[in-house]
Structure 1
């Protein structure tokens, strides 16, 4: 192999930001990383809520939390939400102690909590379900995530954009070094997971507007690492 070809292969190998986990080929080549992204408008959501209460006895704490959860679940059922879109956790109950500077710890009550995860297939109903949670006595929202129902369709578009980006970069680099682009020698691909839009994480002590999701967008990204031979 000519020294010029070895130097060219080395120079082009460093043109990409990606590091490939393979033995460096003994022929002139170029490494490229293609990036692609598409913008999607969310059409569904998931949210997690929790009810927490502390009372003097374990039974009172349990009854209070269970009542709130039952009220919320009944409201969702009356609104037509299917049970398969609702997940309710078991009761968590723990004693609460006061620790004075001197003396023994003192039992001051019991803290009970339960969580509920809800999948909203129609985004137009999100506000309604959140209002139901507030009216039922739910006192904490852990998070609200906006998603798209046809995730794979958008992922495929982002993947094709990444492939085209890799091809374009490789062709440009080859031309810049007075070479022609050859066949693909290796493809490394690890699908990037879309990050749902996180709207808020708050205690529901004071009602806040949840209309911010209406103008939200979801960016779905993908990337591919490709090694091309050079002619």
Structure 2
């Protein structure tokens, strides 16, 4: 019986020793972040244009708005921009109220707002599209957003560069410590995105006035940034 107890204690001791050795041989790691920024010229722009008007009754307001919007779209299509590049994004018709002295309200008219977005694949046409819309009756150019047609390929390229950036950092850290990077334990792709350049109406309202007298509105796209971030845990020995 005593012999079995001794064997049992030895077994437990061996298990504890094995666990201790396994703990001592725990994988050594380093964690690094990798970043990448790619700057490139945009090859696409989305222009948000609207026409807003008021009339005494809803039918008249809607009809007047439709006439102007049809003219705007017709003139834009004449610039060799295809119909699928023009989309209605918002349409509102609502009454305009006037508050009387006695506190009651009466409808004095109706307001109609019709908004479209125009996608332009030729950046050089942006100024022309804006001027054409204004000349056709648009009374608001709400925003211009410059972007990329093949955005995913740029995101992928930025991600690869971010990974390489993380690997380079890990190699420098490991070699400085007299170690070598041997494996990848964990990867977290934090984000890969495009910082599209967006101009709101306040930023270029004065530029739109330049379209008067046959001078095109001076809209400059500038570079846009494609960014990627990763966090990687590397095993070293």
TM-score (ref. length: structure 2): 0.79
Match of 2:125 in 1: 125
1:190 Cα deviation from its structure 2 partner: 4.2
SS in 2 for 1:199: strand
Is this contact kept in 2: 1:158–1:220, CA < 8 A? Answer: yes
1:199/1:166 Cα in 2 relative to 1: closer, same or farther (>3 Å)?
A: same
1:204 Cα deviation from its structure 2 partner: 5.7
Pairing of 1:139-178 with structure 2 (within 5 A): 139-178=139-178
1:164 Cα deviation from its structure 2 partner: 1.3
SS in 2 for 1:98: strand
SS in 1 for 2:172: helix
SS in 1 for 2:102: coil
Is this contact kept in 2: 1:199–1:213, CA < 8 A? Answer: no
Match of 1:229 in 2: 235
SS in 2 for 1:183: strand
Match of 1:54 in 2: 54
Q: Describe the superposition over 1:123-165 as per-residue Cα deviations: whole angstroms up to 9, x where unpaired.
A: 1111111111101111112210111223233223211210111
2:220 paired residue among 198, 213, 218? 213
Pairing of 1:20-169 with structure 2 (within 5 A): 27-89=27-89, 91-100=91-100, 102-169=102-169
Structure whose residues are more often strand by fraction: 2
SS in 2 for 1:60: helix
C-alpha root-mean-square deviation of aligned residues, in Å? 2.4
Structure whose residues are more often helix by fraction: 2
Unaligned runs of 5+ in 1: 7-25
Distance 2:72 2:121 in 1: 18
Distance 1:171 1:204 in 2: 51
Distance 2:59 2:205 in 1: 25
Distance 2:111 2:226 in 1: 40
Distance 2:205 2:230 in 1: 42
* Structure ID, larger Rg: 2
1:90 Cα deviation from its structure 2 partner: 6.2
1:84 Cα deviation from its structure 2 partner: 0.9
Equivalences, count: 209
